[in-house]
Structure 1
Amino acid sequence: MPSKPLPERLNIADWLLDARVREGRGERPALLTDQGTFTYRDAQALANRFGHLLTNAGVEPEQRVIIALPDGPEFVAALFGTLKVGAVVVMVNPQLAVDAIEYFYRYTRASVALVHRHTAPAFQAALSGAGDHLKQVIVVGEPGTTRVLTSATGELDTFPSHRDDAAIWLFSGGTTGQPKAVVQSHGSFANTTVCYGQGVLELTERDITLAVPKLFFGYATGSNLFFPFSVGAASALFPEKSTAETIFAKIRKFRPTVLVNVPTMVNQMVSHPDAAEQDLSSIRVATSAGEALPAELYERWRRTFDVELLDGLGTAEMWHIFISNRHGAVKPGTLGTVVPGFDVRVRDDLGHDLPDGEVGMLWVRGDSRAIGYWQQMEKTKAAFRGEWYVSGDLVRRDSDGYFTYCGRADELLKVAGKWLAPQEVEGCLLRHPLVKEVAVVGVEDANGLTKPHAFVVAIEQRPGLAEELQAFARERLEAYKAPRAVKFLDVLPRTHLGKVDRGKLRLQ
């Protein structure tokens, strides 16, 4: 829990950015980029200029501002500048297709969108479906915008937000359907920053963070921006797509102490032909979230890089990670234990607590719980019950307090009259040396019965590999769990947040 109650008047931009300058840390490095280093004073001045830019565009407190920018100083300044004028941040993937942009325009009813000149055509093409509420699309990097920013003053009084005011909309990482906005308050971000960022990760001003996911993803917003800024540490940012080669290059350049990772990239890094030659000695700890981390993949990471990797579970509804492994106390294949400041229960369908060892629904409460879903009252009532958030995740707790992820309740497959968690089959197939990535979904056969099908990205395809993988699974799992079919893909389809899109796989 936070060491002291949060003040009633709290603007997270002041708490994370302005406060560092007031403390005398203005000249410390805040952002490390390929173009150079930005100090906390530099970041504050640029954020203030973005605040003036938005005010001049007619943005008022509590209105939404879409931020669709690549990782870099402009993203950080746009985010803090939006918060400093009392507006609400809506972060979206800058690489969205036109139809997705139209959806976000209509759904969020944003008053202004901040986009980059390289991706501006798609955002401008979607304007016809935006509605009258959108006042302006501001193109960052365009000469006119640059002139306005340069001429604006670097001073700005931060709006006195209430700790319970909406601050940022995060989007749920569901694997089917349209994303729904999770409305989070200023206070939520402060709470989890203290509980996880400072508590579990033990960040200090000497740390440098580097993230695989981009800042529009709440996991990275916290781990690669809010958490380091809360202690005066530095964040390394780059706009390019994250690949194993890119991450290795940025590690060489920035020498981070904390690497924010996801299972897909963990797999790519350990599978890289030059993995054994990489120097990750600057990294004291790495984190993994977004999807479950199989024990075998964790062990390969440790053997390859000798860097601790902390798997954990978080949701947009609780903003960030609330179950995590700890340095020196990792139990491979588990999510870890409850982060202090949160309360987690495993319950049955009636809301009754289950004993250790039984699989049930994860309920969690803590001070980072969201306000609710935007325009989704029925889903809000189902998911948010008093202090508790009912996640839809199925977990099992052991006698030591470690939680194991067992899948999503809405992704379980009923096969031969028994429940099957796709993650169990995926974890098995990932142990095969030729499997790079895999996703298992339920597909109905000619009789309308659900059967597990595996979609595999192979390191190397060879004749008979599909049958080999089926036999591999049958040798290690109960017969009904083995995939009835194996299909090979070049890449797995993913959602806007990078999670496997199981809905698209079912259509293939």
Structure 2
Amino acid sequence: MRTSVIPEAVQERFNVVELHLDRWIKNGLAERVALIDLESGEETTYRELHRLACRFSNVLAEHSLELFDRVMIAMRDSRLSVASFLGAMRAGMVPFYVNPNYGVDEFKFFIRDSRCRAIIADRSTAEKLEVATREVGKHVKAMVNVDRDGFSDLLEGFRDEYPLAETHKDDPAYIVYTSGTTGRPKGAVHLHHDLVYAVGPYVSNVIDVREGDVFYSASKLYFSAGRMFGLHIPLMCGATSLIDPERSTPERVLAAISGRDVTHLLCVPTLYLRILNHLERLGVRTLERRALRYCVSGGEPLPASVFERWREVTGLEILNGIGSSEAEWIFISYRQGECKPGSSGKVIPGWEAKLVDESGQEVTEPYKVGVLYISSDSVAAFYWRRSEETRRTFIGRWYNTMDMLYFDQDGYLHYVGRSDDLFKVHGMWVSPAEVEDAILATGLVQECAVIGLPTSEGLTEVVAFVVPKDPSNQRLEEELKAALADRIPRYKIPSKVLTVDEIPKTATGKVRRTALREMAMSGLIKRAGEL
């Protein structure tokens, strides 16, 4: 058992930003480095981050934002994206990150759904957000572009002090948007006390955090895991977060490990595999890990082969885990020296978990599959403006994860899949319905169906089955992927397009996805364009 720097409980009046910033300054640690920008090398101390967050609080207050108003942040990772998030929470507002790579239509959805009162953008998003706001954002009071000429001077003109809003521990603190069963994003509303119960058990039982530690999350802040590992965990533990505005490639991750003495690394399994393959191409058989002590993984199942290869190259185990945006962080995990490759790990103390079978009974036998339910004070309170989905997902004190698992004779849990049709690619949810709609919108096919299939490395890829409008079109896959590039994010675009005469369906017209998997695994179906 490790000693945690996170309190076990909080007072009724509580603003979680105090645990990120104010307490370190009160304890004489203001000059510790909170953030390092990987691109520029610029360092930001806790005192400087505190002042910057306060200035953002004052900017938002200047625009007449009030308690619990939503603040949308669509920026590349930077010290300003961190400070704006903390500044909004400090003032009692409710921020949420949005992927800056989205297009105008996707931004319009978030503006409409959240009824956000303020939007904070940078040069990568400002133009798209201005278009979206003109069309659907009459309720938006402020549009702040941090890269606009003169903004730095403007920000410096605001006071660098702002009192912590006197929020209650059960007041909304921030929103995390996550994919719904229909593919429509839904906002999980987290309260001010949630992070205490998400971070505390993890740093007490899975990792330790020491003075001078440096965290590097390959996942960006606009992903739930990236925000947790790149913002909340390091800052709530008084450590340093290495902020990377660019896409995380194997080269960038390796440079961070070697050049910045990273101690805690987070990557999705796909990226760990890419790093291993990159090292193999370079002929590197042993990686000098320098300060690296912890390698964490989540977002998708970790293949046993990737775990073994990583341990052989680095001498470190990948601490695989299962978590969710609704739960806020990992609740099932490996622990150093207790890893069982191929499993998902064990429930972290501080969490409760149970498997429930189809009859609603708790599973008590090893190897029997059930739906995972978990319970903790870190679980979201509800979905924003989604009462039906809230009732279906949050049942009393239990959260229905919709993940299917079983436990073995040693108590290790094993992930089987989703109880719905969603699956993850590169750690991000893919809704078959959303991809199918996009494919049909291209006008190139009559019918289609999408599933996730394992690759030879044990990861998951998107595979589309289509009934072509023109069976003689040998460029169908190429044309389809090109048409989808403007419709859906890259990771949702099918890796393979397989042509069929018809899509197998049930008597009620539902797609038989199990039959599609069998067809794909048979190897008898041709890819689009093959003769």
Report the TM range for the smaller structure's normalisation.
Answer: 0.7 to 0.9
2:74 maps to which of 68, 76, 98: 68
Relative to 1, partners in 2 of residues 1:235 and 1:454: Cα closer, same or farther, differing over 3 Å?
Answer: farther
> What one-letter code is carried by the residue in structure 2 that aligns with 1:426?
P
Question: Which residue among 353, 357, 360 is the counterpart of 2:362?
Answer: 353
1:6-405 equivalences under 5 Å are 6-33=10-37, 34-173=40-179, 177-272=183-278, 273-274=281-282, 276=285, 278-354=287-363, 355-405=365-415
For structure 2, the 5+ residue unaligned runs are 424-450, 467-499, 506-511
* Contact persistence 1:454–1:487 (CA under 8 A): no
Contact 2:504 2:515 survives alignment (8 Å): no
Change (3 A) 1:191 1:447: closer
What's the offset of the Cα at 1:35? 3.5
Q: Distance in 1 between matches of 2:122 and 2:520?
A: 50
Out of 457, 461, 465, the residue aligned to residue 438 of structure 1 is 461
Q: Deviations along 1:459-502, whole A, 9 cap, x unmatched?
A: xxxxxxxxxxxxxxxxxxx999656547599xxxxxxxxxxxxx
Taking only the aligned residue pairs, the percentage that are identical comes to 32
- CA apart distance, 1:144: 3.2
Distance in 2 separating the partners of 1:3 and 1:40:
20
How far does the alpha carbon of each residue in 1:74-127 deviate from its partner, in whole angstroms, 9 at most, with x for none? 011101100111000111111211110011110111000000023211111112
Task: Determine helix, strand or coil for the equivalent of 2:193.
Answer: helix
Provide the rounded CA distance (Å) in 2 between the counterparts of 1:149 and 1:412.
Answer: 43
CA contact (8 A) 2:258 2:290 kept: no
Cα separation, 1, equivalents of 2:382 and 2:523: 38
AA at the equivalent of 2:314: F
Change (3 A) 1:43 1:321: same
Q: Deviations over 1:188-207 (max 9, x none)?
A: 11111111134311222331
Aligned mates of 1:70, 1:446 — CA distance in 2:
43
Distance 2:422 2:460 in 1: 20
Distance apart, 1:276 and its partner CA: 3.8
Contact 1:440/1:453 (8 A) holds in 2: no
2:410 alignment partner AA = D
Is the alpha carbon distance of 1:243 and 1:375 closer, same or farther for their aligned partners in structure 2, counting shifts above 3 Å? same
Deviations 1:330-381 (A, max 9, x none): 1111111001110111111332111221111000001111111111111110
Deviation at 1:454?
A: 9.2
Q: Which residue of 2 aligns with 1:493?
A: none
The CA distance in 1 between the partners of 2:513 and 2:87, in whole Å, is: 51
**After the TM superposition, which of the residue ranges 272-281 and 7-16 deviates more from structure 2?**
272-281
The number of residue pairs the alignment matches comes to 453
Residue 29 to residue 454, structure 1, CA distance change in 2 (3 Å): farther
Residue in structure 1 matched with residue 471 of structure 2 by the alignment: none
Describe the shift of the 1:241–1:341 C-alpha distance in structure 2 as closer, same or farther (beyond 3 A).
Answer: same
Deviation at 1:152, TM superposition (A): 1.3
3-state SS of 1:236 partner: strand
RMSD of aligned residue pairs (Cα, Å): 2.6
Residues 96, 174 of structure 2: 8 Å contact kept? yes
Conserved? CA contact 1:338–1:344, under 8 Å: yes
| 1:101-158 alpha-carbon deviations (Å, 9 max, x no partner) | 0111101110000000232111111123323211121000212322221111211111
Which sections of structure 1, spanning at least 5 residues, go unmatched?
A: 414-421, 456-477, 490-508
Q: Could you state the TM-score of these two structures normalised by the residue count of structure 1?
A: 0.84
